[in-house]
Structure 1
């Protein structure tokens, strides 16, 4: 009977897909908010406490360092499942956000930011795996590519909140940091009311075919079930870094982690400490320039979701790196240009780089098969967070040494390296453009 069921990955979009997608969307908004809020909060903190460029960088990078735990979270999810981790992480996320109200000790804040990053790692790694394991195969890439829109909404909301929250005196910067508890609680509450489904794919890979069939039929109806491939799947072995670096997965792991890390270096370094950069560049009103940059970030991800459907993944990757590199290089060598022209170039850079973010969710998941997906994606995210944390830590330090131009020149080199890696090794994963 099992073989007569239609493959659940070919089912049309239904309420369970949309409910799950909204649960992941709310988590993405919370994650984007928490990662973006540190820059404006720390800019405010400078007026209250003694904090040098190194500490600014460390606190800004703290949650990104925590995100380096994505590989661990991915392996854990491959062993114990996806649903339980996603049901609790946003509650812990909210508690850790609020904990930032109670201390000004920089070391304690640094530890809290790292723990926040671990909670974000669960949403990034486990949430994306659960989503791709439920969505119809033909719709998965499209839905994943749109997730960056909601992450960007959270990131931009953090900037707006950071420049509008006032009236708390010396506590204002801590209130700004702790405000990430609000989107966290919204995500946690939704997941408690509309409980997440287990992953049929994960259950099947664990040898629990009967349970998987029951989950599918509960949410999609009796005509749907596991594919023949999943029915015959052997229980998954423990996935290690050695497995992901074996000849079968080595290219996927290194390219997935490499492109993500180099892109994240430039994006997070510039975006989180945008107030610091704009102040040093002297290109008009900082708040207005920052809002323009963030608005263009949203335009970029919207443009990216359109481009994603039109061209190959490989061409998109290569183009986003080299074009954003050229835009940033023009800004570095155009210091004598008028403020309006510099803002226009900076806005163009924001659009191009942000468009490339559209690939961050679908591309790593497409690189790996069912048995290693959560571990593979988690490892790519871990590698990427080293890039993001490095960029976030180094930018305020480099700006202090040689100004904003030095920071941006380093980002130019990083983007060029990312483009070269993708040009040489990035595999094509798009069903439309992949060679049969």
Structure 2
């Protein structure tokens, strides 16, 4: 009979002889069930804060930020570009940072950087400094996202735990537009939203510091010997990693583009009231979250590869309804269902990554793909805003359709074999 400790142990590979090459962090996670529980909770809080942050709230705040700073859509969209720069910085430094301070240290470092960004936003600084703060939140959030996902894939039944982790992220995205809309529409100080984020950022930092306290900032034993560079090189030469990076880059870009610009589209093109249509954004994120919970086991049962194509077909249908039907009720239903069917893509992609990428490259691959996903969350909303400043916000719709098609193309290219090199 298994002891409680054994039954609660996080495992990555049942072959015990593999343990001596696993990271310092993974071995620490396997020591006590109480540590595992705390780390699961803290990483879920991390993703909850991420959901509350840029992905949902900024779209609701756009109609209020524009007149406050007197900027154009193009100038405002630079927020996404700067956020992208922060994400990319984290993408290519993640392996080296983790090799020096471990998973827990990288999570805490990311939380510190992110919280500094929230503090700047709440201060309501000049526009240039306000946008610069998004570099900090992008970089800090990407470090945390990469490590939270890496940790979660070590849990038995990882497909389910990843679904829960990203459903919690989705809960944040549901709440965020509501909180932002209430603060912006009922008070004269829209940037008080970032006071809420500052408080939650500090809570997240304290939880991570406490739950990862054992061995915090200890170098990763495997990479401390000087192999971080070679691991990064091997990761970058793996074809499956690049295919999945493209998948995540487009998917998270699509998710944040529709979540960030839908309110402006409905206000400008469908003549919606900003005080009311902000709740439609919450409907999208509600569907997004429910999909991650409700479809996790169904997807695993019928097969991840097959079901992604089924969901994409439904997503394209919902996107066309959102684009072509000028009715607020139909739009609300369509965006809810769009969120429901695309919501599971991120945890599905992470789970499949663990099946097609060699185990010794998994930490670097998870970090790179997760961080590049965050870069997509910045790049495509920026591109949409830049084009919208010249051609109108309705350009969001063909961009979204193109992103959904691109997601399908990358998924079709995904190899079934575990080791494929460039």
TM bucket normalised to smaller: 0.7 to 0.9
In the alignment, is residue 144 of structure 1 matched against residue 162 of structure 2? yes
Who is 1:153 aligned against?
171
Whole-angstrom CA distance in 1 between matches of 2:356 and 2:317: 28
- Name whichever of 70-79 and 6-15 sits farther off: 6-15
Matches of 2:143 and 2:255, distance apart in 1: 21
SS of the counterpart of 1:180?
helix
Describe how 1:156-235 pairs up with structure 2 within 5 A.
156-166=174-184, 172-198=189-215, 205=222
Q: Note the alpha carbon deviations across 1:36-65, whole angstroms, 9 max, x for none.
A: 332233321223221211122112443343
Counterparts of residues 3-402 of structure 1 (less than 5 Å): 9=11, 14-36=33-55, 37-68=57-88, 69-133=90-154, 135=155, 138-166=156-184, 172-198=189-215, 205=222, 236=227, 238-239=229-230, 241-246=232-237, 249-250=238-239, 252-282=240-270, 285-335=276-326, 338-402=327-391
The 1:23–1:269 alpha-carbon spacing in structure 2 relative to 1, beyond 3 Å, is: same
SS in 2 for 1:273: helix
Give 1:143 deviation, angstroms: 0.9
TM-score by length of 1: 0.78
Deviation at 1:344, TM superposition (A): 2.1
SS at match of 2:69: coil
From 403, 407, 420, the counterpart of 2:409: 420
Q: What SS does the corresponding residue of 2:125 show, helix, strand or coil?
A: coil
Give the gaps of 5 or more residues in structure 1.
1-5, 209-234, 430-436
- Figure out how many residues of one structure are paired with residues of the other and give that number: 388
Q: Confirm or deny: 8 A CA contact 1:65 1:114 kept in the other structure.
A: yes
Conserved? CA contact 1:71–1:376, under 8 Å = no
Quick one: distance in 1 between partners of 2:417 and 2:200?
A: 35
Note the C-alpha offset of 1:128.
2.3
1:434 aligns with: none
Under a length normalisation based on structure 2, what TM-score does the superposition of the two structures give?
Answer: 0.81
CA distance in 2, matches of 1:207, 1:404: 49
Q: Which runs of 5+ in 2 are unaligned?
A: 1-5, 15-29
Contact 1:61 1:390 in 2 (8 A): yes
Indicate how the Cα distance of structure 1 residues 260 and 91 shifts in structure 2: closer, same or farther if over 3 A, else same.
same
Conserved? CA contact 1:260–1:381, under 8 Å? yes
Query: CA 1:426–1:39 in 2, change beyond 3 Å: closer, same or farther?
Result: farther
Shift of 1:192: 3.2
CA RMSD of aligned residues (A): 3.1
CA–CA distance in 2 between the matches of 1:428 and 1:318?
20
